[in-house]
Amino acid sequence: MANRHVAPLLVLGGVASVQLGAAVATTLFDAIGPAGTVLYRLAFAAALLLAIWRPRPGRVDRDALVLAGVFGVSLAAMNLCFYAALDRIPLGIAVTLEFVGPLGVALAASRRATDLLWVGLAAAGILLLAGPSGGAEVAGIALALAAGGFWAAYILLSSRIGRAFEGGEGLALAMAVAAALMLAPGVADGGSELLDPSLIAVGAAIAVLSSVIPYSLELEALRRLSVGTFGVLMSLEPAVAATVGLLVLGQGLAAAEVAGICLVVVASAGALSASPEAPTEA
């Protein structure tokens, strides 16, 4: 009985931590830009994962190392596109559009007749969110959708990584690759400001909020919940993001945008309820 009450709280706690981390990340954009912020997040997350798992690349074959490299590319691209979107559009809208990634994976893996309903609801929600917009908003929408595509790739690759490596060794290697890929764009965006101790501290906090805490809470929740129930709870992420955007960043949304988010949440909950793929995010 206790598990039934605790597990949903673990999932929601992880979701809230991810969105709070994203909100904190936006405070660094003026100083080091989205790419510099991504570099902070991935570098700190990589250092932590490497220290925990201590991967030994020599124990796996070349195909597994290539897979880890591709996984790292998807991680770097997903985070860069998402943070670049956050620099242009509100958090709630960016997360909702990005969620088309796991939603698409769930729908592709299912053959139920009701899937047409979820596709229709999601499409209607996206149209409401992508209504008449200026240049920055159009770019932000495109970047958020691109981040969703890379999130879908991340989900599909993560199961293969789990089979190719022990524990979290594959994720640790992929995170190191992602951090290395972000070094040049991150330095180009952030410059010498990246060495500011106060900004470094905020970057470390973003990595903990966006990766360490949610990953740990999700693992615990999955020990207590079915993947379908976990997916339904995770589908609340766009709504949580909109709430965090309002309370932390003061980002209000128009009625049509709120309606669009609600439609995507309902579509995601329906599609993910029977999906074998859990929409986790590194």
DSSP line for 108-159: HT---TTHHHHHHHHHHHHHHHTSS--HHHHHHHHHHHHHHHHHHHHHHHHH
User: Which of 149, 139, 129 lies closest to 265, judged by CA?
Assistant: 129
Q: Is residue 277 part of a domain?
A: no
The tokens for 155 are: 């989900």
Determine contact, residues 167/52, Cβ cutoff 8 Å.
no
Give the pLDDT of residue 1.
45
Give the pLDDT of residue 94.
95
Q: Is residue 237 part of a domain?
A: yes
Q: Is residue 281 part of a domain?
A: no
DSSP-derived secondary structure letter, 61? -
Give the pLDDT of residue 145.
95
Determine contact, residues 55/166, Cβ cutoff 8 Å.
no
Give the pLDDT of residue 225.
79
Q: Is residue 105 part of a domain?
A: yes
Q: Is residue 279 part of a domain?
A: no
What mean pLDDT do residues 87-106 have? 92
Q: Between these two residues, 112 and 105, which has the higher pLDDT value?
A: 105
At residue 200, φ and ψ (nearest 5 deg) are -60, -40
DSSP-derived secondary structure letter, 28? T
Query: 197-244: per-residue pLDDT in tens?
Result: 999 999 999 999 998 888 878 878 877 877 778 888 888 999 999 999
Q: Is residue 194 part of a domain?
A: yes
Overall domain count for the chain:
1
Which amino acid is it at 21? G
CB atoms within 10 A of CB 29: 17
Give the pLDDT of residue 162.
81
What mean pLDDT do residues 255-269 have? 92
Q: Is residue 278 part of a domain?
A: no
- The per-type count for the chain, helices as H runs and strands as E runs, is 14, 0
State the average pLDDT for the chain. 89
At residue 178, φ and ψ (nearest 5 deg) are -60, -45
Kindly tell me if the per-residue pLDDT of 34 is higher than 80.
yes
Determine contact, residues 171/55, Cβ cutoff 8 Å.
no
Which range of residues forms the domain containing residue 211?
2-272
From CA 108, how far away is CA 86, in angstroms rounded? 27
Q: Is residue 91 part of a domain?
A: yes
Instruction: Give percent of the chain above pLDDT 90.
Output: 59
What mean pLDDT do residues 14-29 have? 96
What mean pLDDT do residues 84-100 have? 95
Show the 3-state SS of 3-23: HHHHHHHHHHHHHHHHHHHHH
For residue 54, is it left (φ>0), alpha (ψ between -120 and 50) or beta? left
